[in-house]
Amino acid sequence: MQPIFECMAAGNFLFYNGRISKAGKPLISPDNRSFRYGDGFFETMKLMNGKVILADHHFERLFASLDLLHFQKPSYFTPDYLYGHICLLAKKNYHHKMARVRITIFRGDGGLYDVENHFPHHLIQTWQLNPANNHLNENGLVIGVYPDAKKVCDHFSSVKSNNYLGYAMGALWAKQQKYNDAILLNPYGRVADATIANVFVVKEGMVKTPALTEGPINGIMRRYLLERMQKENIPVEEGALTLEELEQASELFLTNSIYGIRWVRQLGQNGYTHQLASHLYKKFILPLLAEKLAMVNNPISQ
């Protein structure tokens, strides 16, 4: 199976704590708390023609995570500061037409009880993005349920934490099983999310996704689709999602910021269609991309 999304060339340059430099040089010490304890988080964004898609949503989540994890922001550390350097770095890496952007935030050195300070060390990286990520997948995904990790349901479970072990092992398991992705369950045996995506099902005309109290990441595309569906009076709810409901659903699709929506063809012995997923993609995802796609595909008009 192919990975759920593909990035192409990695950037030759990165941005770290205020400076752009060549990639490949060591950045942290062995005493770094993110390395030791996973003390930090990250944000993944899609950049097209020098613009971050759903930028306001991304920066709102990023700064909410900073506060939740008790970082102390200097006065210059603002969305404009980060956005400006994302654009500069993407242009320097020749990725400004279409890129995956990752901002990693982490605390510096220190032991578990003796933190040196709470400055948000920040690393920005870009990768050239495959144009195929701008289209709904023609072939449905084949996924499985990862049995060896449980996603906790606590105050921090919605954060894209640098402590990503359960997801990393789930992704490794999915690759070994020749799946495109894997679903993770919470401690109660209900659906939390997938390794790199949120989970939605369609059953009897109702769209449903796990509530944040069930342990999923507070996904940007999840939030956007919920907002749009509610505004358009499309029946949708957040709640507890059981494996039985997955089996009984007519559609199953995954969402994240890079590809928008990906529909699932098979989970175990259960097969799914993509009628509503295709409709949602055309109605809500394509408008996000339309103007930027035109500018990317028609550089002469820029």
Residues 18-70 have pLDDT tens digits of: 999 999 888 889 999 999 999 999 999 999 999 999 999 999 999 999 999 99
Q: What is the pTM of this model?
A: 0.92
- Residue 101 near residue 126 (C-beta atoms within 8 A): yes
- 7-134 and 141-288 have identical folds: no
CA distance 45 to 47: 6
CA distance 181 to 240: 21
| 135 SS3 class | coil
Q: Please report where in the chains the tokens 């689709």 appear, as a residue.
A: 225
Could you tell me the residue ranges of all domains in the chain? 7-134, 141-288
Alpha-helix residue ranges (DSSP H) falling in 209-260: 220-231, 243-248
Mean pLDDT of 211-217: 98
Topology adopted by domain 7-134: D-amino Acid Aminotransferase; Chain A, domain 1 (3.30.470)
User: Between the CA of residue 192 and those of 28, 98, 140, 208, 237, what are the distances in Å?
Assistant: 32, 30, 21, 12, 15
pLDDT of residue 184: 98
Is the CATH number of domain 141-288 3.20.10.10? yes
CA distance 225 to 220: 9
User: Between the CA of residue 26 and those of 52, 103, 123, 284, what are the distances in Å?
Assistant: 28, 17, 12, 41
Q: Is the pLDDT of residue 117 over 60?
A: yes
What's the pLDDT band for 297 if we cut at 50, 70, 90?
A: low
Q: Is the pLDDT of residue 15 over 50?
A: yes
What's the pLDDT band for 290 if we cut at 50, 70, 90?
A: confident
Q: Please report where in the chains the tokens 């995802």 appear, as a residue.
A: 285
Mean pLDDT of 162-190: 97
Arithmetic mean of pLDDT over the chain: 93
pLDDT of residue 77: 98
pLDDT tens for each residue of 145-171: 999 999 999 999 999 999 999 999 999
User: Between the CA of residue 302 and those of 26, 79, 99, 294, what are the distances in Å?
Assistant: 38, 26, 18, 9
Alpha carbon 221 to chain centroid, angstroms: 8
- Residue 147 near residue 207 (C-beta atoms within 8 A): no
- Residue 142 near residue 4 (C-beta atoms within 8 A): no
